[in-house]
Structures are given as structure tokens and as C-alpha cells.
Amino acid sequence: MTTRAHLGEPGPELEDLGLSAELLNKILARTVADVRGCTDLDAPAMAGFMFWSRCNRYLAEELIPMGWKHTQRDSILRVIHPSMEFAVTALSGAGGVGDRDALVRSKNPKGPAMARLVENNGQYAFFTPDEVRYGRQLEEMPTWCLLYKRGSKRNGLKSELSLPVKMNGQYVDEWLHRIIWDLPELDDPGSDISLLDDPPSGDEGPEVMVQFLGGN
């Protein structure tokens, strides 16, 4: 069952966004399978960087046939819903990912492009479909984050889909909605949470801190 954490009125479920737990679990499982191929002979950060890149790639591969679009503008990998109402990107997290009562913080600070995107989420998250249909720009689309936490064989992988709305300094620390679903055990043997999971600086990928903001 999908659960939600939100401010104010109840937020959307995965189905409202044209997504499903089954689809996201499939994407995460494919990503884990790829990362299992990394060995000690790869670059030290290879597994973490591959996880970030492949997760975004498989999002695009699964959703483009359904009418979604893809962009790498500002080096932020995103898929855009056919309605042009919102986008989705994947990035790594640490802490209580998948636990709506816990704090979560992803690993790497990001630059001004991500800051603008997150701040615009709060401003444009409630535009009507007509306002979206007539001239909304890419940076004005709310961008959801498929947030994942790579674990170990003991605690597996955690994930959630969250909508950031405020960035203080180089870190996002306010979220409008968090959607959590049942994730099967996806072991990521040999992963090390100290390794790089997405680009460390600039705007290659968003850096996110998640905070539970209340609600039932």
C-alpha cells in the first residue's frame, strides 16, 4: 500500500503521477543487477555513480514509450510527464529513506541550477492543467525525486518518491510530499555508503535532505 507524508491536504499517490510501485521496483531491481557487476577492479566510486546513472536511464527507458520526455539540461537527468505538469529525477540518499518519520539527507551539495529548480517547485506546484498547457517552462515544472538509499546485504535498498520545495544553502530540507511504497528485498552486496552515489558538486545531479513535515 502506498503511504503519504505531506503538508496540508493529502498528496498524490503514485498512480496519480502515472507511476506504480511495480514499475519503480522493476527500475530499481534492474539498477541493482547492473551494480552487482562491479568489482574491486573498477574505480572506487564506480558502483555508486553507476547506480545514479542507470536508475535515471531505466526511468527514461520505461517511461518514454508511455509518452514521457527526457532531458539532461543543466546535467540534471529528468523524465517529463506527457502532460508537462511535472518531472522526475533519481538521486541517492542517506538516513531513513523510506521511513516517513525519519530524517534523510543525500550525499552531495549541488549548485544554482538545482537550487532554482527546487525553489520553483514551491512556487509552481499548484498550477492548473490549463496553466501548464500554455507555455510553462521546464524550470517551472515541479520535479519529484526518486530518492534511494543503497544498503548492504543485511538491510537492502530503500526508496521513496518525494517533492522538494525549499533549499537552504546547498541542501534541500523541506518537502511537500513523500510517497512511500512496499519495496521488495533488493540486496546490493558489496555496496559502501561512503562511496559516491551521484555527482559531488555543481549541477550534475540534485543533492537532497529530506525531512518529515507532518501529516498522517
Find all residues with CB under 8 Å of 39, minimum gap 6, and list them.
Answer: none
Cell of 48: 555508486
| Average pLDDT of the residues in 54-77 | 93
| pTM across the whole model | 0.76
Percent of the chain with pLDDT over 70: 65
| Average pLDDT of the residues in 58-75 | 93
Cell of 57: 536511464
Q: How confident is the model at residue 210 (pLDDT cuts 50, 70, 90)?
A: very low
For residue 82, pLDDT beyond 50: yes
- Return the residue matching grid coordinates 544553502: 169
State the burial class of residue 115 (Cβ atoms within 10 Å of its Cβ: 0-12, 13-18, 19+).
Answer: buried
d(CA 147, CA 145): 5
The 10s digit of each residue's pLDDT in 135-187 is 456 667 889 999 998 766 556 788 999 998 877 667 677 788 899 998 887 76
Mean pLDDT across the chain:
75
The neighbouring-strand residues paired with 158 are 149
DSSP 45-87: THHHHHHHHHHHHHHHHHHGGGT-EEE-GGG--EEE-TTSS-E
The neighbouring-strand residues paired with 162 are 145, 178
Domain ranges of the chain: 3-210
